[in-house]
Structure 1
């Protein structure tokens, strides 16, 4: 078996941490991650006390080989794409709030 790159080692470490102690309402699709370490499917329940309470979301995280120096691409997938000013109708998350905009 080939050795893992620094990026893969970091992803493996973060994945194990997330699976062992996930935030409330968050689960990792271990079967999908097992197929491809650089693409995660995360299941997330809407937070209590918000208009998203009771709603189930799926997010796809795509990590490039320069992670953690390059941010992952995070997209809402499946039927429940939240209506939010920073989420496009195709599920892509607008990150302009992190720049001068």
Structure 2
């Protein structure tokens, strides 16, 4: 019998394949029910106009009860967006990925929320504690207890 997680991800993948993704969001890989990747681009006028990023979702067997581990992919030729809620290692401080997670949220809904977060940004800057956090951060961003206090970025 398939797990709740596998059934839910199969349903979400079917919907993406049938309906597509919103403008500026594209499924890059979904080879299994462990890791998916999406490209994300802010459409219209914004500080991130013309920039494209890669988002990685990692799912555990408790999804959708448990949130996915979501982060921007960084590497030799790829950076995370410079944003007050995005660390240079790609970790994202967003309440919907932590305390405000709800099983009704879908992978696409998370992508749209992060796209909107970038679109509404008024100043490109890293979080105040970026250097310290990146030095000490666990590999999995879900193991970080972020403090959510600024929804106006």
TM-score, with structure 1 as normaliser: 0.82
**CA apart distance, 1:16:** 1.8
1:19, 1:26 → 2: CA distance?
Answer: 13
Is the 2:94–2:148 contact (alpha carbons within 8 Å) kept by the matching residues of 1? no
Q: Which residue of 1 aligns with 2:38?
A: 42
Measured at CA, do residues 24 and 67 of structure 1 come closer, stay the same or move farther in structure 2, by a change above 3 Å? Answer: same
1:15, 1:63 → 2: CA distance?
Answer: 13
Measured at CA, do residues 100 and 84 of structure 1 come closer, stay the same or move farther in structure 2, by a change above 3 Å? Answer: closer
**CA apart distance, 1:33:** 1.5
Q: Which residue of 1 aligns with 2:47?
A: 51
Is the 1:7–1:66 contact (alpha carbons within 8 Å) kept by the matching residues of 2? yes
Question: CA RMSD of the aligned region, Å?
Answer: 2.0
Mark the runs of 5 or more structure 1 residues left unpaired by the alignment: none
TM-score, with structure 2 as normaliser: 0.56
Of stretches 14-23 and 66-75 in structure 1, the one that deviates more from structure 2 is 14-23
Q: Secondary structure at the match of 1:9?
A: helix
Runs of 4+ that moved beyond 2 A: 18-21, 95-101
Number of aligned residue pairs: 96
Mark the runs of 5 or more structure 2 residues left unpaired by the alignment: 101-146
